[in-house]
Amino acid sequence: MSPDLPPVAPSVTAALVEALSPRLRKRLDAGVTKLLARPATRDGDTVRIAVDDETDVVLHAPGGTVTGADAIRCGCLLSPDCLHRAAAASAAPVADDTPAPDAAGDPAPTGDTDTPDETGETEPETATPAQRAAARAVFDAAAAVLEAGTDGAGAVLQAELLHAAHTARLAGLPRASAAAVTVVTAVRAARAADPGHRLGDLADALTAVLDVAHRLPHATGPDLTGLRGTARQPYRPDGSLRLYGLFSEPVLTATGYAGAVTWTADADGRLCTVSDVAPGGPARATGAADRAVRVGETALTHRELSRAGLAVSGATVSPTGRLGAGAGVRAVRAPGAAWHDEPLDRLWAVPAADQVTRALNGGQDLLFLEVTLTGTVREAAGDCLLADCAGVPLRLAAAHDDPALPYRENLRLLAAARGSRLRIVARLTPGPYPRALLLAAAHPTDAEARVDLGLDRLQHADLPHGALAPEAGAPAAADEAPLHLLRRRVHQAVPGGRRVLALAGSTPGDAARLRRLGLATAADLLEDLHTAAADRSRDVFGRLVPADTGRFARSWLAAAVYTEVVEQALCVHAWQGAADEVAARAMT
């Protein structure tokens, strides 16, 4: 996937791949690799890729997005049914395929509403036949990706999942559609060895799409409404707001989007964001912070707003707190506040365990913590900062690994400030021990200043006097939570597919250990997962019959959902348990 190419609508990619002959489909992955190695030039809304000295593929993207198959043209003799057009679409980022709102400005209806039966009583709303069919298509396509694993999920399987996503969108299932697109973009990032790819994120994305597609055909009432989702997040009038800048973070996604998001808080501690995200790469992620924010006519940049304030009239806010930038919004610069001053100080007054519980229950995942840096620990993905948070041992990891962003370099320098007590902003990473991604911190030598760790670059001179050069982290202690015996099998299936678990065979020792430690359900799920992976029947001639991808996907989904739920419970216990232990010691 190349950030130099404009995003392409899922329906376009699906249509171009579907039009290929079986022979060309087998060559599609090689065609994508070859095309990505060719030079691309942009002229306004047009991107031109030189296939060879005589042939170009041209992508026309009015408004920044390719929305029709006829907007991708090729000069070769086999066009329009050539491999090049499908390869170009498969190599480009996936665009948002959200349908346009209706005349009233709201998304089109997504299905039936509750209707009275013959007795006059209201019957629960159910999915329409088209929605049930679309959900099954999404499940089957996602199951095929899981069956093959990311190593085997090439452009053809990706296109089939994109086709299912587009069908779901048309059927009024935006949540399933968005989840399917997320899987495709994550698979592409994994196959391209994108620095921002994380196996856990891809596993979560597969869990999400399989879960919603599996549950939706049988859901009713409010549960069905949640599974359908909403095509757009409406901005609602919010009157006048007085906002105080908190920090800015760069955005650099595996889907080819980049920019910056600035977080603010109002007088009651409610969080609001201002974003500038568009197709682009690392250069846009680092440069967007110095662009003016898109609220009213203020000239404040994102970097300036993160330390200043904003007075907004006629404000509109989405359910997630994003500020609208409509014509009626007015905004002027106002004084900001230090993290230790009101109203921002109250964000750090909430106990850490309560913040974690709020995040796990669907609330904001930002954590506002006061920590003492204690050292580093070495993990597979790189060194983590160790910190003490009111008695809770906390691991702080870099929020992004792209070398263009200074997260990891800043984290390495902060490791030299052992003993420093800092206020920080981090993003929760659910797990069996306290862990978060470090986003912003108070300056190590000036508590009134702050550092946006994805944008600002610390220098050794910024550290406290006498700070030592960062030392290599000590090896991380093994994850002793027995749940990892199930989690690792769930994760192994994502890159390698069914065959990895089938070759691994049964694990009676692991299952016995889980039962011995009181996790009988986990043991049952582990055994069922291996049984489903190895279940291949043969016909009367001894030939293997096609695998039951649905059964394997359901077994994997059950194990993944169970692991997620138990890990969330362990996460709450880790934060709350450590805090309770410290409180008990203080009272003795």
Residue with tokens 């993990």: 379
Higher pLDDT, 508 or 582: 508
Residue 189 pLDDT > 80? yes
Calculate mean pLDDT across residues 382-386.
Answer: 87
Count Cβ neighbours within 10 Å for each residue of 42-64 and write b for 16 or more, e otherwise.
eeeeebebebeeeebbbbbbeee
- Categorize the per-residue pLDDT at 580 as very low, low, confident or very high, splitting at 50, 70 and 90: low
Q: Average pLDDT of 485-513?
A: 85
Span 420-438, average pLDDT: 91
Q: Which whole number is the average pLDDT over 334-348?
A: 94
- Residues whose CB is less than 8 angstroms from the CB of residue 320 and which lie 6 or more positions away in sequence, other chains included: 233, 273
pLDDT band at 203 (very low <50, low <70, confident <90, very high): very high
Instruction: Kindly tell me if the per-residue pLDDT of 112 is higher than 80.
Output: no
Among 77-86, 107-116, 564-573, which is the least confidently predicted range?
107-116
DSSP SS3 for 286 = helix
Euclidean distance between CA atoms 136 and 216, whole angstroms: 9
Pairing of strands 392-398, 435-443: parallel
User: What pLDDT, on the 0 to 100 scale, is given for residue 3?
Assistant: 54
24: how many CB neighbours lie within 10 A of its CB? Answer: 17
Average pLDDT over residues 69-77: 93
Residue ranges of alpha helices (H) inside 308-399 are 345-349, 352-360
pLDDT value at residue 297: 79
Per-residue pLDDT for 24 more than 90?
Answer: yes
- pLDDT at residue 577 greater than cutoff 80: no
Helix (H, G, I), strand (E, B) or coil at 327: coil
Q: Encoding tokens for residue 328?
A: 């009626």
Three-state secondary structure call for residue 251? strand
Lowest mean pLDDT among 25-29, 40-44, 577-581: 577-581
Q: Please state, for a pLDDT cut of 90, what percent of the chain lies above it.
A: 53
CA distance 338 to 306: 11
With cut-offs at 50, 70 and 90, classify the pLDDT of residue 138.
very high
Of 221, 229, 220, the closest CA to residue 165 belongs to 229
Rounded Cα distance, 573 and 561, in Å: 19
The encoded tokens of residue 322 equal 């994003």
Write down the pTM of the prediction: 0.80
Structure tokens at 98: 């959200």
Least confident window among 259-273, 377-391, 436-450: 377-391
- Nearby residues of 83 by Cβ (< 8 Å), 6 or more positions away: 20, 24, 27, 28, 31
pLDDT reading at 32 higher than 60: yes
> Whose structure tokens read 């232990």?
581
DSSP 198-223: -HHHHHHHHHHHHHHHHHGGG-BHHH
Instruction: Determine phi and psi for 497, rounding to 5 degrees.
Output: 75, -170
Q: Is 256:93 a contact under the CB 8 Å cutoff? A: yes
Report how far residue 75's alpha carbon sits from residue 561's, in angstroms, rounded to the nearest whole number: 48
How far is Cα 184 from Cα 10, in angstroms, rounded to an integer? 10
Q: Which residue has the tokens 């899922």?
A: 10
Cα separation, 246 vs 266, in Å, equals: 10
Rounded distance between C-alpha atoms, residue 11 and residue 7, angstroms: 12
The DSSP letter of residue 109 is P
Cβ(66)–Cβ(92) below 8 Å: yes
CB-based contact 177:217 (threshold 8 Å): no
Asked whether residue 90 carries a pLDDT value surpassing 60, the answer given is yes
> How buried is 115 (Cβ within 10 angstroms: 0-12 exposed, 13-18 middle, 19+ buried)?
exposed
Region class of 74: left (phi > 0), else alpha (psi between -120 and 50), else beta: beta
Instruction: Give the CB-side neighbour count of residue 583, counting CA atoms within 13 A.
Output: 8
Mean pLDDT of 368-382: 87
Q: Are 171 and 134 in contact (CB under 8 A)?
A: yes
The C-alpha R_g of the chain, in whole angstroms, comes to 26
The string of pLDDT tens digits covering residues 285-340 is: 999 999 998 887 788 999 999 999 999 999 888 888 888 887 788 989 999 999 99
pLDDT over 50 (residue 110): no
What pLDDT shows up at residue 325?
Answer: 80
Q: How far apart are CA 373 and CA 385, in angstroms?
A: 7
Query: Distance between CA 438 and CA 19 in Å, rounded?
Result: 46
Number of helices (H), then strands (E), in the chain: 19, 18
CA 116 to each of CA 125, 235, 394, 428: distance values in angstroms, whole numbers, following the listed order: 10, 32, 54, 44
- Name the residue with higher pLDDT: 209 or 115: 209
The pLDDT of residue 453 is 95
Q: Which of 452-456, 499-503, 526-530 shows the lowest per-residue confidence on average (mean pLDDT)?
A: 499-503
